[in-house]
Amino acid sequence: MRVRMNSIQRAFGEVSKCGEIAISDLAQSLDLRPSTLNEKLRTLQRKGLVEFRAGRKRIGLNANFGTVVGIDMGASHLHFALADFCGEILKDALVKVRPEDGPRKMIRQMKVGIRALTSRIGRRPMALAVGVPSPVDPERGVVAFANNLPGWKNIHLGHELEKEFRVPVVLENDANMAAIGEHWRGVARGVNNFVFIALGTGIGSGIFVDGRLCRGRTGSAGEVYRMNIEWQRWNEDFGETGYLESHASGLGISAEGRKVLPAPVAEAAGLGQERDAYFVFEAMRQGNPAARAVLEKCFTMLGVGVANLVAVLDPDLIVFGGGVVKGSPDFLLRTVNKVLRRIQPDPPPIKLSSLGDKAQTCGAIFSALTLAQESLVRRRP
C-alpha cells in the first residue's frame, strides 16, 4: 500500500533528489506558496536535515546529518567508501580478497572493513549498500549466483550485514550499481536511456530506461554474459561462464591468450591472477600479432553483442567501464564501433566511463543515500 506523504515529507524528498535546489523552483514543483513552503523547510532545518543557502534563496541537504557506506565487491577486492549525507566521500579503503576462499571469509572481511571505516565517526552509518557480481534479490538481500566467485549461490549477504550493524542494507548487481553511479555523477548524467557495459573479470550491463534502472522479472536484466551470438551453437553448454563472457571479458581474453601466448609467470598467485588478461594487452603493446588477433576477435564479438542490445533497446548512449577497458581503450572503441556501425544504420555514441574504478562505489553511495533518505521521508514528523 502506498503511504500518502504530507508536504514536509514531499519537500524533503525533492531536496534529497536534487541535493540542492532554489526555493522558488521547489515551491513550483510542489505547488506550494513560498510562505507555506518556508514553514515546512524551517521544520526540516530544526531537525538538522537541511540548511538554507545563498541568502535563504536555496535549500540543500545538511552534509553533517549522517553518513552512509558504499561497497564495491569485486572478484579480487573490496572497495569501501564512507560518505556524508550529500554523498561526498570522507574516507575509503581497498582490501584484497581471494575468490577461492569462499563467501564466509569474504563476508568476515566485509564486516571488518565496515567497522574500520566507521570506527571514528561515533555512531552507526544510516545505511549500507553493496554492489555484487551477481543477480540479486534486493527485497531479501540475497546474492543469487556469482558465477566468478566460488560458493556464492543464494548467500544472504543483506541479512548478515543488517544483523551485524542494525542498519538498512541494499544489494544491487555490480553493473547496475555502476550504471547508477554514471547516471548520478558520471558520463550518463542527464541521459535517461543508456546501457552501461562492465568489462572486468566477467561481463555484465546495467540498463536505464526512461530514467529508471531496469531490473527485469527476476532481477537479471542486463546479464549479457549468457548472450549467444552464434545460433549454430545454441545447444552447446558454456557452463557457468556463458557464451559472451567466455570471449568478451577478462576471463575470456585470458583463456584465449593462454592458447597462443606463454602463460604469465605469476599464475601461481591464485584464481584472480589466472583470470587477469593483462599479459595479452602487454604482448600486443610489444607488437605480438597473435595477441592483437586475440583482442580483435574478442572485441569483434563484443561489438556484435552491443549491436544486439541496440536493436532491442535503442538507447541514447552506450558506456564502457571496467578493468578490461584500461588495457587498450582506443583499440576497443575502434573495433566495437566498426562492428556496430556495420550492423546498425544509426548507432548511438559509445563513451568510456568518466568515473573509472569509482563507478560502482558511486552507485553504492547513491543507493545507500536513497535508502536512508527514503526511510526519513516515510517517518511522520
Q: Is residue 251 part of a domain?
A: yes
pLDDT reported for residue 23: 93
**pLDDT tens-digit series, residues 136-153:** 887 788 998 887 788 999
Q: How many domains does the chain have?
A: 3
Same domain, 196 and 161: no
Q: How many CB atoms lie within 10 A of CB 32?
A: 17
Could you tell me the pLDDT band of residue 240, with boundaries at 50, 70 and 90? confident
Same domain, 229 and 347: yes
Domain that holds residue 53: 7-64
pLDDT reported for residue 227: 93
pLDDT reported for residue 121: 82
Same domain, 138 and 247: no
Which of 64, 82, 107 is at the close of a domain?
A: 64
Q: Which of 194, 287, 306, 195 is nearest to 248 (CA)?
A: 306
Question: What CATH number has the domain bearing residue 29?
Answer: 1.10.10.10
Measured distance CA(253)–CA(247) in Å, rounded: 6
pLDDT reported for residue 266: 42
Measured distance CA(67)–CA(243) in Å, rounded: 41
Q: Is residue 86 part of a domain?
A: yes
Pull the grid cell for residue 65: 546529518
Same domain, 166 and 195: no
Could you tell me the pLDDT band of residue 55, with boundaries at 50, 70 and 90? confident
| pLDDT: which is higher, 94 or 265 | 94
Exposed/middle/buried for 56, CB within 10 Å: 0-12, 13-18, 19+? exposed
**pLDDT tens-digit series, residues 9-40:** 888 888 988 889 999 999 998 998 888 899 98
Question: What CATH number has the domain bearing residue 344?
Answer: 3.30.420.40
Residue 381 reports pLDDT greater than 50: no
Q: Is residue 2 part of a domain?
A: no
Averaged over 320-342, what is the pLDDT? 96
Same domain, 160 and 279: no
Same domain, 250 and 326: yes
Q: Among 33-42, 111-120, 135-144, 225-234, which stretch is predicted with the lowest mean pLDDT?
A: 135-144
For residues 174 and 73, is the Cβ–Cβ distance under 8 A?
A: yes
Q: With a threshold of 0.85, does the pTM exceed it?
A: yes
Same domain, 35 and 173: no
For residues 68 and 372, is the Cβ–Cβ distance under 8 A?
A: yes
Same domain, 267 and 242: yes
Residue 69 reports pLDDT greater than 90: yes
Same domain, 116 and 52: no
Q: Is residue 330 part of a domain?
A: yes
The beta strands (E) that lie in 124-168 are given as: 128-132, 136-137, 142-145, 153-155
Same domain, 34 and 150: no
Residue 329 reports pLDDT greater than 70: yes
Q: Is residue 1 part of a domain?
A: no
Measured distance CA(126)–CA(13) in Å, rounded: 16
Measured distance CA(63)–CA(51) in Å, rounded: 9
